[in-house]
Amino acid sequence: MRRSIILSITLTIFLASCYEPYYPRVNSNQKVLVVNGMITDEYASYQIQLSYAAPFDSTGTGTPVDNAKVYVTDNLGKKFSFYYYGNGYYVSSPMEFTGHPGNAYNLHIITPDGEEYESDSQRLFPEVHPDSVYSEFDYKEILEKSSGSMVLSHGGDILVDVKNHSDTLPHFRFAANLVTQYFYSVCPMFQSCILYYCWQTDNANSDINLTGGEYSIGSASINKHNVCFIDDNLFYYGIVYTSRSTGGSTYYAVPTTQYQSFQIVNRILYLQQYTLNNETYEYYKNINLQLQSEGKLFDPIAAQLYGNIKCISDPYVKALGFFEASSVSHSAYKIDFRNLTDNQPSIKQISYILPPASNGCEINNFPAFWIN
């Protein structure tokens, strides 16, 4: 026993003598440009966000880069300008520029201090639509809005199949938003009832959802890819609206600070399927690996995520961020837990009509996207 005690003390002294504090040398005065931008094949105004990263020893946020020169070039020699919008944002005009599948694009930035930056060339692949979208019952832990706690809930996994129509199936990223419709009426005395057609939008999947759970590259079709989970609760904790009159019998809805449990009328899932080139896929994959770290022994080591932006006027100047070129397909589905299909939740594709705002309410009239 005495020998083991002496050995333990000796090892402790030895390990302590090997300890040497490490103080990293950080140049907190260096300005590091951070770039965040994406173009697609849809007719839309694209955005590029520029900022300077906050210093390492600062508690503040990044500083927007104003009045830079921003433009995109393609492999055909065309140039497309982005216009300063404010607060570090630069936007394109859809009448002047829409991404074309098959072309490759480079982002160019000249900052007010004269530094010039450029992205790697990004190939825009053709858009791909899901071949089938369906659901299967499951149990998942979700965040309950009314209590703010995680609860085990019954609902349906939203699953996607994508068939391989070429030699190699590209990688995909899915984003999903769930719009919940609810209805109620208020009947003042001696007046007509006021009908409230309300909705709220929730991010159905806050994680980065990539195809290929093992991050493998192959030509096989994608089957039963899990996009998100939707609970089958009959009630929704939604915003309470009140009405204001514009004169006569015309009313408009005004949100209050109150929330209440309402019976759900319908659920609409809006699905975006992004087709990624290999470089974009690797970037998202590395982000996803970092986010999935749980502090375990074999978790991926936290490391700097390198983007595709470099300073070409001075190779010693650092830049962060990523310029993405990905095509996107849009689709919308009605999710029905009341009328089942083969004892599973029913999913029916509907017209892709977006609500006028993420959250809102219309009085006495159906919104254009409303499902009866």
* 3-state SS track over the chain: CHHHHHHHHHHHHHHHHCCCCCCCCCCCCCCCEEEEEEECCCCCCCEEEEEECCCCCCCCCCEECCCCEEEEEECCCCEEEEEEEECCEEECCCCCCCCCCCCEEEEEEECCCCCEEEECCEECCCCCCCCEEEEEEEEEEEECCCCCCEEEEEEEEEEEEECCCCCCCCEEEEEEEEEEEEEEEECCCCCCCEEEEEEEEEECCCCCEECCCCCCCCCCCEEEEEEEEEECCCEEEEEEEEEEEEECCEEEEEEEEEEEEEEEEEEEEEEEEEEECHHHHHHHHHHHHHHCCCCCCCCCCCCCCCCCEEECCCCCCCEEEEEEECEEEEEEEEEEEEEEECCEEEEEEECCCCCCCCCEEEECCCCCCCCC
* Domain spans, the chain: 33-124+278-325, 132-275+328-363
In this prediction, residue 9 carries a pLDDT of: 46
In this prediction, residue 52 carries a pLDDT of: 94
Whether the CB-CB separation of 120 and 106 falls below 8 Å is answered with yes
- pTM comes to 0.85
In angstroms, rounded to a whole number, what is the distance separating the alpha carbons of residues 267 and 230?
A: 9
Mean pLDDT by 10 residues, the chain (372 residues): 49 46 52 95 97 71 92 97 97 97 98 96 95 96 79 94 79 96 92 93 90 58 93 95 82 94 97 95 88 51 74 93 97 96 96 96 94 84
Exposure string over 230-263, b if 16+ CB within 10 A, otherwise e: bbbbeebbbbebebeeeeeeebebeeeeeeeebe
Cα-Cα-Cα-Cα torsion 314, 320, 321, 322, nearest 10 degrees, comes to 40
In this prediction, residue 144 carries a pLDDT of: 77
Whether the CB-CB separation of 83 and 92 falls below 8 Å is answered with yes
In this prediction, residue 259 carries a pLDDT of: 95
In angstroms, rounded to a whole number, what is the distance separating the alpha carbons of residues 69 and 91?
A: 11
Whether the CB-CB separation of 70 and 78 falls below 8 Å is answered with no
Q: CA 27 → CA 103, 136, 316, distances in Å?
A: 39, 53, 13
Whether the CB-CB separation of 176 and 270 falls below 8 Å is answered with yes
